[in-house]
Amino acid sequence: MCVPIDLSTFAAKFRTDFTAFANTTNFPDSVILFWAGLGIKLMNPKRWGEILYEGLELWVAHNVTLSAKDNASVNDGGLPGDSSGVISNQSAGGVNVSIDTAATLEAEGGNYNLTPYGTRLKRLIDIVGCGGAQLT
């Protein structure tokens, strides 16, 4: 059975589980709670069952990471929401680096492939069967 999620304590528990987000200046509670509030509305507790909390934390980590990338872009004079895909080949001077991204990307993962949290979430989404429902 799914445990109800208390959003009043979510940010603190999230920071304990995902210590990379411990810095409250870079990752304010308001951003964490925004994504948690939206995520809980989108995730069906009956499908997620006992792993709802973990799925929600991955959803939040993915979206907070994307928000942080937006902020970094703005701080560098760019635009928020400026989209870029996964880099698989990069050159600088005489150095050329190629990375095989296929091993770390989820098939049909879309924007979930933009963060490692998203790829983990996408794997859980596939496991719990959150795709479109079919009637036969």
Q: Does some domain include residue 103?
A: no
Task: Say if 67 falls within a structural domain.
Answer: yes
* Structural domain that includes position 71: 7-79+109-128
Amino acid of residue 14 = F
Specify if 96 maps to a domain.
Answer: no
pLDDT digits (tens, 9 = 90+) for 111-127: 899 999 999 999 999 99
Q: Which two tokens stand for residue 89?
A: 């080949």
Provide the domain count of the chain.
1
In 3-state terms, what secondary structure has residue 6? coil
Q: Name the pTM for this structure.
A: 0.77
pLDDT at 21: 97
Per-residue pLDDT of 19-45, as tens digits, reads 999 999 999 999 999 999 999 999 999
